[in-house]
Amino acid sequence: MVETDAFAAISDPNRRYLLEELRRGPKTVNELATGLPISRPAVSQHLKALLDARLVSVKAEGTRRIYAVDDNGFFHLNLWLDQFWMR
């Protein structure tokens, strides 16, 4: 897996929307695509970028893939940001 920079991943407004939706709870691609003016394949591509940045996790439940916020990825992002606030 190629790791993507978390800041590059969240620079896209569609990805920020996906993260905001996932913050409310785990969801499938179909559930996430409902609120966006883009196709399900495009949502999947955005989710892949968030997965590569380790900001989102995925688990299989039967034929469905359930996406959720990856707390560990945000922990590392927060550590980096905190250095600017803790001076």
For residue 59, list its beta bridge partners.
Answer: 66
Task: Tell which residue, 59, 58, 54, has the closest CA to residue 80.
Answer: 54
Q: How far apart are CA 15 and CA 7, in angstroms?
A: 11
Q: How far apart are CA 68 and CA 70, in angstroms?
A: 6
* Residuewise pLDDT in 10s, the chain (87 residues): 456 788 899 999 999 999 999 999 999 999 999 978 999 999 999 999 999 999 999 999 999 999 999 998 888 888 888 888 766
* Boundaries of every domain in the chain: 6-85
∠ CA 34-40-42 to the nearest 5 degrees?
120
CATH T-level topology, domain 6-85: Arc Repressor Mutant, subunit A (1.10.10)
